[in-house]
């Protein structure tokens, strides 16, 4: 009995210690800022954690609507970040990294029907091609949207940002390669879509001060990471936070990601752990 009590006390003490460490280091999200959700693949099974089935995606969106969340578009979001409009924590910007073809069938019709927009980040060297930048595992090859499909989605009202040219870890590139990834991808998208490309999403969420400053110089207005290393109350237009939604998530965890409530800290630590693990993809890719 006393051993059980000891184990329980150690667990409780560890939980409290983690909470206080988290509270001091990161803390809660600001109330005056819209939340940003980051999805990847909305599709059938794959070996990985960044996918969710279409049915679950749609029920998540409907549930968020029922809870009173208001979905905003890229321009409305940027207006908040640039101080031209006030924002609040009941607003959500939906983002999709990598630009998979499944978006056409599994996401676009459902969002269109509900009058909800989304910002899709494209990898310009892989437009219309399979995702060979990803780890080579069974059931892991997915096709990216091609230019005709992208232009069709643009006409439907969806907006597009850059997710680099080749989806490499930008922190590991030399200055010239880094500028190419940022500038050439923006120019290509802008030429094809005949519009300003305002947003960038760092591949694997990987960014440091050098990558951030170069992204600003490359002509973007905002850039998104996943879980920035600084306090959650701080808003940096070139290292914006997003809440990743993964296969392990359900409505309960999704609500916690979006709230500043009691269990938000667990979701924040979970997101930071998953984001930390994602660095393995470029590393494994390089050495194997």
Contact 242, 194 (CB under 8 A): no
Give the pair of three-digit tokens for residue 16.
């409290």
Please give the size of the binding site for Zn ion, defined by CB under 5 A.
2
> Least distance in Å: CB of 205 to Zn ion?
9
134 touches Zn ion (CB under 5 A) = no
Question: Which of 139, 135, 132, 136 has the alpha carbon at shortest distance from 45?
Answer: 139
Comparing CB distances to Zn ion, the nearer of 98 and 149 is: 98
> Least distance in Å: CB of 58 to Zn ion?
22
By beta carbon distance, the residue nearest Zn ion is 97
Comparing CB distances to Zn ion, the nearer of 42 and 80 is: 42
Comparing CB distances to Zn ion, the nearer of 97 and 214 is: 97
> Least distance in Å: CB of 75 to Zn ion?
23
Comparing CB distances to Zn ion, the nearer of 120 and 153 is: 120
Token pair 């003490």 is found at 13
Comparing CB distances to Zn ion, the nearer of 167 and 257 is: 167
> Least distance in Å: CB of 201 to Zn ion?
7
> Least distance in Å: CB of 16 to Zn ion?
36
Token pair 């930390």 is found at 276
Comparing CB distances to Zn ion, the nearer of 35 and 40 is: 40
> Least distance in Å: CB of 228 to Zn ion?
17
Phi, psi at 254, each rounded to 5°:
-60, -45
- Among positions 76-105, residues that touch Zn ion (CB under 5 A) are 97-98
Comparing CB distances to Zn ion, the nearer of 221 and 242 is: 242
Report CA 3 to chain centroid distance, whole Å.
44
Alpha-carbon dihedral angle through residues 19, 25, 28, 32, given to the nearest 10 degrees:
170
> Least distance in Å: CB of 163 to Zn ion?
6
Comparing CB distances to Zn ion, the nearer of 97 and 149 is: 97
> Least distance in Å: CB of 204 to Zn ion?
7
Chain residues binding Zn ion by CB under 5 A are: 97-98
């Amino acid at each position: 009995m006393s051993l059980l009590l000891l184990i329980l006390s150690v667990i409780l003490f560890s939980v409290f210690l983690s909470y206080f460490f988290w509270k001091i280091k990161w803390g809660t999200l600001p109330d005056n800022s819209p939340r940003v959700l980051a999805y990847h693949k909305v599709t059938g099974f794959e070996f990985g954690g960044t996918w969710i089935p279409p049915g679950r995606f749609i029920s998540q969106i409907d549930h968020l609507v029922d809870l009173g969340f208001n979905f905003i578009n890229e321009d409305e979001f940027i207006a908040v970040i640039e101080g031209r409009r006030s924002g609040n924590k009941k607003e959500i910007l939906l983002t999709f990294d990598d630009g998979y073809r499944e978006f056409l069938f599994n996401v676009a019709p459902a969002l269109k029907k509900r009058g909800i927009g989304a910002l899709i980040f494209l990898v310009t060297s892989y437009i219309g091609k399979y995702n060979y930048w990803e780890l080579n595992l069974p059931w892991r090859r997915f096709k990216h949207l091609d230019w005709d499909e992208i232009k069709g989605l643009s006409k439907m009202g969806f907006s597009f940002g850059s997710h680099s040219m080749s989806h490499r870890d930008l922190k590991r590139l030399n200055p010239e390669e880094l500028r190419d990834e940022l500038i050439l991808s923006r120019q290509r998208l802008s030429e094809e879509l005949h519009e300003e490309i305002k947003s960038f999403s760092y591949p694997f969420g990987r960014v440091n001060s050098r990558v951030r400053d170069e992204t600003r110089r490359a002509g973007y207005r905002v850039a998104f990471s996943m879980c920035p290393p600084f306090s959650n109350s701080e808003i940096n237009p070139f290292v914006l936070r997003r809440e990743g939604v993964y296969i392990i998530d359900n409505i309960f965890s999704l609500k916690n990601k979006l709230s500043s409530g009691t269990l938000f800290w667990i979701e924040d630590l979970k997101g930071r752990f998953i984001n930390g693990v994602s660095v393995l993809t470029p590393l494994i890719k390089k050495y194997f």
